[in-house]
Amino acid sequence: DNNLFGILPFELFRQTGRHEYLPVAKYLADEEFDTPREDGLTRYTRFWADDMYMVGSLQAQAHKSLRDPLYAERGANHLLAYLEKLQRADGLIQHHPKTPIVWARACGWAAAGMTELLLTLPKYDPKRKLLLNAYQKLADALIEHQAASGMWLQVVDEPDAWPETSGTGMFIFALATGAKERWGNSSLYGGAAERAWQAMTTYINSAGQVSETSRGIAPTDATVSAYLSVPHLVDDFHGLAAALWAATSLVNLGTDAS
C-alpha cells in the first residue's frame, strides 16, 4: 500500500511537466519489482483483490508517464495472475482465493485497477484482450447484481447486505469509464453508473460527508457475517475519494453529476 503514493507524483509530473516529480515515483514503481518472485510477480503478492489496484494502478501510471512498455507488462501480468485466482465463474471478483466473498470495496479496487490499466495498455498488446474480456465479464456481473436502489451492497451478491459507498463509487468509475471508452455496451454501462450515482448522492450530506462506508477488513475474517458486521463509517477517506472519483468519471462521460 505504501508504494501506491507513487501515483501522485506521476500525476503531478503529467500535469506540470516538472521532472523533479519523477525520481520518487519511478523509485516506488520499480521497488515493487526489484526482487520479484520466481513467477515474475512482485514480492508483495498476497492475492488480495485490493492489490489489483495497489500494484496495477501504479504500474499503469508509470507507463502513462514514462512510456516504457516494461510497466505495462508488469501491470498486465499482475492483474491477469490475480484474475486467474480471484474472478469467479459469474464474473465477480472475490476477496481472496480462500475467501469466496465479494466485498464491495475489494471488488471495487479490482475494477478500478483493471480500468486504469486498460486506459494505458497499448491496443496492440495481446494481453489487452484478455484483460478487456475480464473487465466485460465483471461489468456484466456488477450490473446484474446492482440493487434496486441503484447502489451496490457491502457483500455484492448478498441480498441482506447494506448499501456501501466506497465500492459503489469505484464501480461507478469503472462503468462510466468503460462507457466513455466503448469497452462494451456503453448505454448499459453508463445507465448503471448514472443510477448508482443518483443513489449514492443520498448518502452525501450538505457538508460533503459520505456515510455508509465500510471499515477495512482482512480476508482472513472469512465469513459473510464478519463482512456485514464491520462498522459503517461517516466521512472516511475511502468513501470521500470514491465519491469524487465517481463524480469526475460521470462528468467525463458527459453526465450531469450534480
Cell of 101: 466473498
Residues 105, 54: Cα–Cα separation, whole Å: 13
Q: Does this model's pTM top 0.95?
A: yes
Provide the pLDDT for residue 1: 75
Q: What is the pLDDT of residues 19-51, one digit of tens each?
A: 999 999 999 999 999 999 999 999 999 999 999
Provide the pLDDT for residue 257: 66
Q: What is the pLDDT of residues 129-187, one digit of tens each?
A: 999 999 999 999 999 999 999 999 999 999 999 999 999 999 999 999 999 999 999 99
Q: What is the pLDDT of residues 216-241, one digit of tens each?
A: 999 986 799 999 999 999 999 999 99
CATH topology of domain 2-253: Glycosyltransferase (1.50.10)
Confidence check: pLDDT of 258 > 70: no
Nearest partner of 67 among 102, 26, 37, judged by Cα = 26
Provide the pLDDT for residue 128: 97
